Amino acid sequence: MKIGFDGKRAANNLTGLGNYSRSLILQLANYFPNNEYLVYTSKVKDHPQLTSFFKTPRVKLKLAWSSFLWRSFGILKQLKADNIQLYHGLSQELPFGISDSGIKSIVTIHDLIYIRFPQYFPFIDRQIYRFKAQYACKHAGGIVAISDRTRQDLISLFNVPAEKVSVIYQSCDDSFKQAFDASRLAAIKYKYALPDQYILNVGTIEERKNQLLLVQAMPSLPADYKLILIGKEQAYARKIHAEIDRLGLAERVIFLKDVSFLDLPGIYQQAKVFVYPSLYEGFGIPIIEALYSRVPVIAATGSCLEEAGGPDSIYVNPQDVEALALALNKLLQTPQVCKQMVDKGLKFVQRFDNEVIASQIMAYYEAIASKK
């Protein structure tokens, strides 16, 4: 098949939807090399990670003819000219008119957080997101939800027929699946001045990610453990800094900035515990990064994080500081429990292996492409 992809995120975003897009396309190109994979974008960010992606054999960069609203309108003519048989909208939208074009289509819906938590999104953004996602769900030949939680949200909030939505999970970058040797870990520890014992959180520092809960748990933990936060700071970070000052934690909470993606697995691998107290997620890629990195995970209840972390990670109410502190102390004081969690977590996370995910995606493509 000639398969087209919405490449805006793949070509410009270094986290989140960008990682999802690149990972999926790379997996398909690797395991199913008989197809052509055309990635459409109006621009490409100048970054080594993206340059490397577009050098992948069988992955072809296609610059859009028009930059104005190209994902919604301009791209359709180009898809027809390139004889695309199947188009995958990787980030919650499809071109208008694609259902009448003769091109089969699939859309990935990552989450409906802007409906569940509207207070975190500007009004106009919510309206645009809802309109585009509802249009895509109505006109797509098939819908990929990245978790069962997202699938249930589509059914309940958008009234999407259950049979139209398939859950296909994500993997993470292969760099998290390889243990770094001691010398490389030592170099990373020196480069970022990592403490000997630390708890790790990775993700944008914003209210929904709920890092404040983790900061508030720190006074209840042994004083020789520090907290490392990695992520872009939004306005919410001011609350965290104020709480750090109030609790006298300036020496125990570290904000790491300008972390190279190449070094990030090494920072995971030296953490004692990974904590993800987010109020709501579509899936939770940092959790599987931690599990592949052989780090025990504590996450929040209330969304889909149990799907990412599996039955042997620990889950706490995202509003309960005492419960989080209790769970952390249990792990910090019982290395044998941590080892059991690491072993079972590594076994669980194999369901997100590249070949497993690629095979599921390709089977879905073939099913949609063969529909009359």
| Tens-digit pLDDT profile for residues 98-107 | 999 999 999 9
Specify the long-range contacts of residues 231-236, CB closer than 8 Å, at least 24 apart: 231/201, 231/202, 231/203, 231/204, 231/205, 232/204, 232/205, 233/205, 234/204, 234/205, 234/206, 234/207, 235/206, 236/205, 236/206, 236/207, 236/209, 236/212
What whole-number distance in Å separates Cα of residue 39 and Cα of residue 219? Answer: 49
What whole-number distance in Å separates Cα of residue 223 and Cα of residue 68? Answer: 54
pLDDT at 74: 80
pLDDT at 208: 95
pLDDT at 181: 97
| Tens-digit pLDDT profile for residues 314-325 | 999 999 999 999
pLDDT at 244: 98
Question: Which 8-state DSSP code applies to residue 341?
Answer: H
Percent residues over pLDDT 70 in the chain: 100
Residue 372: pLDDT above 80?
no
Specify the long-range contacts of residues 35-38, CB closer than 8 Å, at least 24 apart: 35/1, 35/2, 35/3, 36/1, 36/2, 36/3, 36/60, 37/3, 37/5, 38/2, 38/3, 38/4, 38/5, 38/62, 38/82, 38/84
Lowest mean per-residue pLDDT among 55-64, 152-161, 312-321: 55-64
Residue 65: pLDDT above 80?
no
pLDDT at 190: 97
Q: Which amino acid is at 324?
A: L
- pLDDT band with cut points at 50, 70 and 90 for residue 371: confident
Across the chain, mean pLDDT equals: 94
Residue with the bigger pLDDT between 2 and 57: it is 2
> Which residue is associated with the tokens 């300008």?
258
Q: What is the CA radius of gyration of the chain?
A: 21
| Tens-digit pLDDT profile for residues 235-289 | 999 999 999 999 999 999 999 999 998 999 999 999 999 999 999 999 999 999 9
pLDDT at 224: 96
Percent residues over pLDDT 90 in the chain: 86
Q: Helices 16-31 & 354-369, crossing angle to 10 degrees?
A: 80
What whole-number distance in Å separates Cα of residue 55 and Cα of residue 36? Answer: 14
pLDDT at 11: 85
Residue 66: pLDDT above 80?
no
Mean pLDDT of 335-364: 96
- pLDDT band with cut points at 50, 70 and 90 for residue 72: confident
Residue 94: pLDDT above 90?
yes
Mean pLDDT of 350-361: 95
pLDDT at 83: 96
Residue 204: pLDDT above 90?
yes
Specify the long-range contacts of residues 366-369, CB closer than 8 Å, at least 24 apart: 367/142, 368/86, 368/104, 368/105, 368/106, 368/141, 368/142, 369/1, 369/85, 369/86, 369/104
- pLDDT band with cut points at 50, 70 and 90 for residue 95: very high
Helix or strand (DSSP H, E) at 89: strand 86-89
Residue of 154, 188, 368 whose CA lies nearest to 282? 154
pLDDT at 48: 85
Residue of 355, 201, 357 whose CA lies nearest to 276? 201
pLDDT at 136: 97
Q: What would the DSSP string read from start to end of 346-358? A: HHHGGGG-HHHHH
pTM above 0.85, yes or no: yes
Residue 93: pLDDT above 90?
yes
- pLDDT band with cut points at 50, 70 and 90 for residue 49: confident
pLDDT at 126: 96
